[in-house]
């Protein structure tokens, strides 16, 4: 399983980690990877984002086999500095996240001997 969610909001942090826990209970032998967007104080719009993220990290440690952390502030910096976008939209940020996911998972999508499944990828990363 591959799950993408944000750890700053209530839906991605609370409902997302609940979903991860339920999937782990139903399919304990399956590998699970998450792409988790972490909140940043520079681009935060609510004061509870750090609390949501802190409380969600425990569930990720317990129930996810691989977690790829994506910094929200870094996404904005890439859009502004590299892509020269003065006011990046969620579509721009989502495009960057999809590029990260695409760059991390080619070994799962194309044939090859190294890292041919998520379990081998997780073992070779350690």
Could you say which DSSP state residue 39 is in? P
Would you call 31 helix, strand, or coil by DSSP?
A: coil
Give the right CATH number for 2-125 from 1.10.4030.10, 3.40.1390.10, 2.60.40.10, 3.40.50.1440: 3.40.50.1440
Query: What residue spans define the domains of the chain?
Result: 2-125
pLDDT one-digit tens code per residue, 73-93:
999 999 999 999 989 998 999
Higher-pLDDT residue of 109, 39: 39
Confidence at residue 115, expressed as pLDDT on a 0 to 100 scale? 63
Please choose, from the candidates 125, 105, 91, 8, the residue with its C-alpha nearest in 3D space to the C-alpha of residue 16: 8
pLDDT one-digit tens code per residue, 32-75:
999 999 998 877 778 889 899 999 999 999 999 889 999 999 99
pLDDT one-digit tens code per residue, 110-125:
777 766 777 777 777 7
Confidence at residue 43, expressed as pLDDT on a 0 to 100 scale? 79
């Amino acid at each position: 399983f591959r799950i993408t969610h944000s750890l700053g909001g209530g839906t991605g942090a609370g409902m997302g980690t609940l979903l991860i826990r339920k999937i782990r209970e139903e399919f304990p032998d399956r590998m699970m990877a998450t792409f988790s967007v972490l909140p940043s104080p520079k681009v935060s719009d609510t004061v509870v984002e750090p609390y949501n993220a802190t409380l969600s990290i425990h569930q990720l440690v317990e129930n996810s086999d691989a977690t790829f952390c994506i910094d929200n502030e870094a996404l904005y910096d890439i859009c502004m500095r590299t892509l020269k976008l003065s006011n990046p939209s969620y579509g721009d940020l989502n495009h960057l996240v999809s590029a990260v996911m695409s760059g991390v998972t080619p070994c799962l999508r194309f044939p090859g001997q190294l890292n041919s499944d998520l379990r081998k990828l997780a073992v070779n990363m350690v």
